[in-house]
Chain A
């Protein structure tokens, strides 16, 4: 057993884990934060995406012990006392989720994307989230949601959230 201490969403957590424990299981089972999901066993789907020291990472492919001493943000930590994170608002207002299973991962990936590239093109957004699979939405509205969040985070005029459905 190894002791792991890390900061999740601003709060310090410690656990005794066996060295083979995956970070995603540490978060979901030891710390009971179940907003981070598991959708595959080949690092392909991105449902488990979190931010580790500001960088998006697939928590199913990292051992808990490797994350010792890091600062982690999960979906539970996106909103603040002031309210929802713009990416959360963007997803809601643009209908960028159906079943919600992929949503946490895509949002966290998008947060990093927008940090690095506040004004991504549609193409950059699509490539940027290509490590995240969504089986429900067809991605159109995920792209719109990220564009909306990009505008909001920069204090720009917000694009319409009415669907264009001729």
Chain B
């Protein structure tokens, strides 16, 4: 633990030997391409495949009507809504799948796609979620019996009366409407699969870019059981994944069509989407419209918060949340501050946009919540006339007050928020920066300092509250130690770059004393790995990492019995040191773990089971609550409004750290995915429902030039209930960075009368805001 071991998985990646889904090649494999709708809302009048079928090499064209015969034209979403696999009559968003072309090679499949002629009758799409609430608005989901509006669900938490009461009597209140825009995970590998159905064996092998292979197998069995594909006949293999970030949790229509076609033809079907298809049709993230309010005393004590959300889900609720949490864990939005009252409510609506609402590098809607609370804390500090760092210090939950019951029902396990912010302030040189800022302002220069001190909630989750489609969100580890003392361990999670092969090996090495070089880690094959719900929401270390430690401890107990037998002493007389048991007071009487394991196969005590294997399914008693203190410094060009991040200091607390190098790497990557929505990324639609930036030419993923040199550090407050005290970190930076950046930009121009800026804060947006407050007039005058 705590060692920056170099990664075991690197060897294959740096030599071009990774095995991603598009690298899978099977004999007789056919290629699939998908015809997509150019319109956001239209009736399909006809689909003419004849021209496509004339092209040599085109094998089939599949439409919704074909799938309808097998009742496979609709599928359930993870949120128990319904989603079209292929439409039979209406398309609901631009780029929706309309038909699939199967051909002998990918170029011919593309030719076939161009040759399919679809006639549409367009309708006026509903693009604005606020319009969707209008009683006069057309009802989009008329396929649902009895549906008379576009409302999906209402959710609320907290004490409304108490909160309202505080708001009516508070010295200070602040209120802001904000939009957390629709964005995309944009992993550099897109989604795809190779579906291979063996007619003779009635067996499906599905190579697939999925973060949750076991759950997917169960879903396939539930959807396709009626055609004879039962769960033992399905093998899902998630090969190396080129980044997931939540976008590879959902089941996309392309996967289902590929399975259906393979099932009907008996040929393996490869489907790999283009980048543009990926951006335009695969699950989006965020898209919350939030009215946020905070109330407090004139001397800067926060007393209550009130959030009202309108969630735009597109045409179906295809979020990837635990079943009981339609807004995910948004209720973490009371933040790191000690106050007793909060009320949050949310409503979700249908629009003519692609479905989704995935937890993009975020533990289910935590990013949206953190943005709201951290923006409000700054606005409140401003109104109370306090420095935002000082106000935070005065309002933090104190270290000694954990476990802390939040007004929205969470039990925060541990934290030391004061220490984190202090370290961040010292590292960045906060006081000096404030002095510099005052000086620069006198010179007419624009510089801002922004803070975000967030609390995350990850590691879903305790089975009493957390399930997906009824399946409890535990996770698993199985360790098998071979006679020579070398091991293989398998997990229900699936790395997409997080370095599980290294971290899990380190955990087991620490617990059992077997060198990590001799511990092989495997994930992603449902035929061999134990069941688990997969990797997202920073849950792997909190759940499967814990399972690894617990399974290893079971083996250590067994090892002790064997050692006692071999040394002919009682178990109480033995002491453990990583890698060996020895007799107390007689360290020369010792058995190494390798000797013990060998004995488990060759000379185990009578009455004991032979072999050396253990499995553990870990059901966490609570979630873990990582936290962070981030400080961003920006310089704004007063003429071009160009924004430059001069410094960014991120102090994270993810409890005990298994591998600092990997944790730091996760933080770097997450921060870049934090600057992205803060300054660059947003999926933009026009009124006609056209996406305006659905390619990598115009959807601006940060390059090395936009990304600053991140400065990182950490404090350690172990999770008290976790076997190794770890909390999970992958998502903290994505969650915590955007408000730090926006707070910094707002701070740079606050003295000019700007109170809030919507993300992404582009130079043009900032220019317009500055123009609106008359900044450029003053300059000219």
Contacts and interface: CB of A to CB of B under 8 A. Distances in A.
Physical interaction between A and B: yes
B241 interface: yes
Contacts of B707: 126, 138-140
Contact of B714 (A39, A107, A166): A166
A138 B7 CA distance: 17
Interface string B493-504: 000111100000
Most chain B beta carbons < 10 A, residue from A76, A91, A165: A165
Interface string A2-24: 00000000000000001011000
Interface stretch (B323-331, B639-647, B666-674): B666-674
Contacts of A99: 13, 187-189, 240-243, 496-497
B649 to A, nearest CB: 9
B777 interface: no
Contact of B188 (A25, A102, A166): A102
Interface size range on A against B: 35 or more
Contact of A39 (B18, B275, B671): B275
Contacts of B695: 40-42, 44
A141 B14 contact: no
A100 B9 CA distance: 9
Nearest to B665: A95
Interface stretch (B138-146, B391-399, B696-704): B696-704
A111 interface: no
A41 B16 contact: no
A56 to B, nearest CB: 15
Contacts of A39: 188-190, 242, 275, 696
A138 B499 CA distance: 15
A98 B665 contact: yes
Nearest to B240: A100
Nearest to B695: A42
Given A76-B16, A130-B704, A95 B661 contact: yes
A125 B661 CA distance: 22
A137 to B, nearest CB: 5
A53 to B, nearest CB: 20
A95 B6 contact: yes
A139 B672 contact: yes
A166 B671 CA distance: 17
A66 to B, nearest CB: 17
B520 interface: no
B320 interface: no
Contacts of B10: 91-92, 97, 100
Contact of A97 (B13, B666, B672): B13
B532 interface: no
A161 to B, nearest CB: 8
Contacts of A104: 16
Contact of B15 (A20, A25, A88): A88
Contacts of A164: 712
A166 B10 CA distance: 25
A115 B10 CA distance: 24
Given A35-B17, A101-B20, A103-B14, A133 B189 contact: no
B668 A101 contact: no
B149 interface: no
Contact of B670 (A20, A75, A97, A138): A138
B107 A95 contact: no
Contacts of A32: 25
A92 B14 contact: yes
Interface in A113-166: 122, 125-127, 129-143, 162-166
A140 B664 CA distance: 10
Interface string B439-460: 0000000000000000000000
Contacts, number: 204
B704 A126 contact: yes
B661 A101 contact: no
Given A139-B704, A141-B668, A100 B13 contact: yes
Contact of B22 (A38, A102, A127): A38
Nearest to B672: A138
Interface string B235-246: 000001111010
Given A92-B7, A99-B242, A166-B713, A41 B275 contact: yes
A36 B695 CA distance: 21
Interface string B1-38: 00010110111111111111011010000000000000
B29 to A, nearest CB: 11
A35 B16 contact: yes
Q: Which of B660, B668, B705 has the most CB of A within 10 A?
A: B668
A75 B23 CA distance: 15
A62 interface: no
Contacts of B19: 34
B270 to A, nearest CB: 11
B704 A34 contact: no
A34 B16 contact: yes
A89 to B, nearest CB: 8
Contacts of A126: 703-705, 707
Contacts of B188: 37, 39, 45, 47, 99, 101-102, 133-136
B705 A103 contact: no
Contact of B186 (A47, A135, A166): A135
B710 interface: yes
Contacts of B557: none
Contacts of B80: none
Contacts of A125: 704
A35 B6 CA distance: 21
Contacts of B672: 135, 137-139
A119 B701 CA distance: 27
A84 B10 CA distance: 12
Contact of A95 (B274, B662, B697): B662
A163 B710 CA distance: 12
A95 B7 contact: yes
Contacts of A103: 13-14
Interface in B608-666: 660-666
A52 interface: no
Given A107-B14, A126-B705, A163-B664, A137 B189 contact: no
Contacts of A57: none
A92 to B, nearest CB: 5
Given A35-B15, A107-B14, A137-B668, A165 B245 contact: no
A98 B22 contact: no
A154 to B, nearest CB: 21
Contacts of B666: 98
B12 to A, nearest CB: 8
B660 A165 contact: yes
B98 to A, nearest CB: 19
A104 B23 CA distance: 14
Given A92-B10, A165-B663, A165-B664, A74 B497 contact: no
Contacts of A143: 704, 709
Contacts of B275: 39-42, 44-45
Interface in B266-319: 274-276
A130 B245 CA distance: 22
B143 to A, nearest CB: 32
Interface string B688-727: 0000000111000101110101101110000000000000
A78 interface: yes
A93 interface: yes
12 contacts: A41-B275, A44-B697, A76-B15, A91-B14, A99-B242, A99-B243, A100-B18, A102-B188, A126-B703, A126-B705, A136-B243, A163-B4
Interface of A: 18, 20-21, 25, 28-29, 32-42, 44-45, 47, 74-76, 78-79, 84, 88, 91-93, 95, 97-104, 107, 122, 125-127, 129-143, 162-166
Given A28-B22, A126-B704, 17 more contacts: A28-B23, A42-B697, A44-B695, A45-B188, A88-B15, A92-B7, A99-B13, A100-B14, A100-B242, A101-B18, A126-B707, A135-B669, A138-B668, A140-B709, A163-B4, A165-B660, A166-B713
**Nearest 9 pairs of A and B residues by beta carbon:** A35-B16, A100-B13, A101-B242, A99-B497, A138-B668, A98-B497, A166-B713, A75-B16, A44-B696
